[in-house]
Structure 1
Amino acid sequence: MGGQPGSRTGRPPLTERRREATRMEIADEAVRLFVTQGVAATTAEDIASAAGVSTRTLWRYFRSKEECARPLLTAGLDLVTERLRDYWSGGSSLTRAMPSADDPGVIGARRLGALRDLVRLSRDEPGLRAVWLETHFDAEAVFAAAIAEGTDRPEIDLAVRLEAGMFNAALRIAVENWAFQPDRPDGPPLRESLAQALHVMTELIDSERSAAPGRRMMRFPGADTRPGS
């Protein structure tokens, strides 16, 4: 994920924004090369050259060539965490805020296609699959912190950890389900897959605020009705 719970809020400093922009440019080129020439045939030097950075710079940011794709995966998860926190402060529906092709400030249509390609590649490429699963492993702790903060419970609470794990799994499976669909114009959009996943989670988790005072349970906003109903 992009940051830790309770970390600095507001716009990051210019140097940090430049660093994140560089990381995303490297990710864009890495995925493009993975798709066009294969992961095995792509070297770190290829990625660095395509991104216009030195190989030394690339290794300063990433541990492996597969790790170069990670910023593309974390961008959407960072948004989900932000929206999860916004919900408890009176923000909008989480399902409506999910990243999609019509959400240009988050991923955008071009990167949405790259995300689909990357998730598809993760099925057969162990290195990319490890990055995909590790990204969600790291995200789970951040989700747990957001849930704990919003429901006035400790992060080590078993229910908090279970809710974070279920939420995280729902997001991962929804993205995989979307990515593995055949390419067709009438295929379900990412937002629809995410909304369906959150609807299922709302049915599985007791979302009614009937718990003991001060122990508000997790609730997935905007998922009270099935998508399209």
Structure 2
Amino acid sequence: MNTEPSHPSLTERRRAATQLEIARAAAALFAENGPDGTTAEDIARRAGVALRTFYRYFRSKQDAVGPLLSGGAERWRALLEAAAPGDAPAATLERAVAEALRAPDAHAAEQLGWTRGLLRAAERDPALRAVWYRVNQDSEERLLPVLARLLGGGADPLEVRLAAAAATAAVRVALETWARTDAPTSGPGSPAELAVRCLRELMGGMRLFTGRPDEDRPGTGD
């Protein structure tokens, strides 16, 4: 059985590139004019595509920024997929999220800047906020099989689901908290630093990540 990861086709790569170009155009226009002052026609024009092409990829102007908002989750998941099963899962999660959210160069810092602007705009735009929540829900679902593999076949499915929910929430809260501040993209108060802190707070009591048997947890046993 072939277990090598599949690579995207040329068509898939072109599709992803077009989606990202439209997403960047939408984010730039939202920053300039706000979501209310931006139309799908404006976004298509800025991205250099026909309006019908825009609607081939996205249902609404707010939906268009989904590829930008999901980029960090995709990098995180790819790092976890590359990790060896059985390695300390808590440390693996922390390393992966810190790597996915760090900004080692201008390009990465720019990507985080897009996220900050979109999350600030989402506070005033329910449709944009719904896209952000949908991105996080999708990330949680796609994280499930990755965590199940890392934690091994004996892991309780309920605990795996709880871990995926907690890990996703940790990143979401970290990014939302950072977006409301003027903290830098690296160092204290950065997305990576906040996400690791949130992970430790939310997952510190989970048996899967502490190794404690059930009877040692509060509320269990005699």
CA deviations over 1:64-103 (Å, ceiling 9, x no partner): 1100000001111111112222333469632442222216
Structure with greater helix percent: 2
TM-score scaled by length of structure 1: 0.79
Which stretch shifts more, 92-101 or 20-29? Answer: 92-101
CA RMSD after TM alignment: 2.7
Taking the aligned partners of 1:183 and 1:162, their CA distance within structure 2 comes to: 30
Name the SS for the 1:98 alignment partner.
helix
Correspondence for 1:205:
206
Structure 1 letter corresponding to 2:99 = A
Is 1:196 the counterpart of 2:192? The answer is: no
Which runs of 5 or more residues in structure 2 are unaligned?
215-222
Equivalent residue pairs, number: 204
CA deviations over 1:177-203 (Å, ceiling 9, x no partner): 111113679872221111211222342
Aligned to 2:100, which of 98, 101, 118? 98
Kept in 1: contact 2:183–2:190 (CA 8 A):
no
Kept in 2: contact 1:98–1:194 (CA 8 A):
no
Correspondence for 2:217:
none
Sort the Cα spacing of 1:52 and 1:75 in 2 relative to 1 into closer, same or farther, 3 A: same
Is 1:11 the counterpart of 2:13? The answer is: no
Taking the aligned partners of 1:154 and 1:125, their CA distance within structure 2 comes to: 43
Taking the aligned partners of 1:169 and 1:66, their CA distance within structure 2 comes to: 22
1:8: Cα distance to partner? 7.7
Correspondence for 1:162:
162
Correspondence for 1:49:
45
Which runs of 5 or more residues in structure 1 are unaligned?
1-6, 213-229
TM-score scaled by length of structure 2: 0.81
Taking the aligned partners of 1:154 and 1:61, their CA distance within structure 2 comes to: 40
Taking the aligned partners of 1:197 and 1:87, their CA distance within structure 2 comes to: 21
Kept in 2: contact 1:144–1:155 (CA 8 A):
no
Taking the aligned partners of 1:209 and 1:103, their CA distance within structure 2 comes to: 37
Kept in 1: contact 2:166–2:203 (CA 8 A):
no
Is 1:126 the counterpart of 2:122? The answer is: no
Sort the Cα spacing of 1:154 and 1:164 in 2 relative to 1 into closer, same or farther, 3 A: farther
Find the structure with the greater CA-based Rg: 2
